[in-house]
Amino acid sequence: MSRPVNPRAMAPARAGRTRTAAPSVPDRFWSAPRMRRYLLFDATGITYLLVGLSILRVVWALGSGPEAWQTVLRQFRSPAYLAFHALVLLSVVYVGVRFFGLFPKAQPPKIGPASPPPGPVLTAMLYAAWAGATLVLVLVLGGVLP
């Protein structure tokens, strides 16, 4: 049989100091370069959401018949969709470049008995893998590779 838990069991022994002023946003918060980079990185998530919704639309059209599929293909040829997909490409490249810049810094100093390659070498290897994967996808989608 269990007994009720004391709601103050994890409370500190004595109360901590309280703030003397209400929290506020620092001056130049939105215009700081670092904050702009964070906001731009976060805004890429909106493009991924919209791409996911467009994928659902494509799948729905595939299930609705050839006429619906042709309509979706015709709409994807419009300048607005082409501009949107260019924006999505820029978003993916921005996130990839940011990730590749952070990846070498996050590596442990030792991986078993071996140490990781220097940061620039690791970054170059990541870019080469990215370019290779992109090339393979282009060849598969282009019909050159099965």
pLDDT surpassing 80 at residue 11:
no
How many CB atoms lie under 10 A from the CB of residue 108? 8
Q: Which of residues 119 and 85 earns the better pLDDT score? A: 85
Q: How much is the pLDDT for 138?
A: 92
Percent of the chain with pLDDT over 90: 46
Q: Is the pTM of this model over 0.75?
A: no
- Cβ contacts of 122 within 8 Å, gap of 6 or more: 103, 104, 107, 116
Is-contact 106 122, C-beta < 8 A? no
